[in-house]
Amino acid sequence: MQQHTDWRMAIFECGQHIVAFDDPDSDWDLLLIAENLPDSPWHRQQQILALLPQSWRHQVNVLAHTFSEWFARVTPLALDIALDGIVLYDKTQDLLPARLSALRQQLSDSGLERQAIGEHEWVWLWRDKPQRRWRLEWRHNYAGDDA
């Protein structure tokens, strides 16, 4: 992965550190959404890990997606990021925060809620059974949005 400061890119913190418990020994989970990532997931990981300080490499997990991969469909991870993700870096002209905000609104409007089913386990459930067919989707919600 070449280092380009003009790339569209966003980094979110997700996972255990921000959801419901604080374990000082747990690793850090990051979501990277960026342009120009290698096609191979293995090559992505190798190049991303090479950018981290050596002492961090076994403490940080990075899940990397291109914009087209991330916005292909709404996944349970996207729902979790919309609710809990912390933006650490955003060079998308607010594309990702705006879309995540729209996704949070869809969750609220549809009545879909995340509920704990055990220690550190959650499931998505309806407040009320939907009366019609439903679908969550990424909404294009600002001019110049080409992702």
pLDDT value at position 16? 60
Q: What is the pLDDT of residue 141?
A: 46
Q: What pTM does this model have?
A: 0.78
Compute the radius of gyration of the chain from its Cα atoms.
17
**d(C-alpha 101, C-alpha 7), whole Å:** 22
Please list the residues that pair with 60 across neighbouring strands: 28
Give me 79's structure tokens: 């729902």
Amino acid 121: pLDDT: 83
Supply the pLDDT for residue 24: 65
Give dist(CA 37, CA 33) in Å, integer: 9
Which positions of the chain have pLDDT values less than 50?
1-2, 20, 141-146
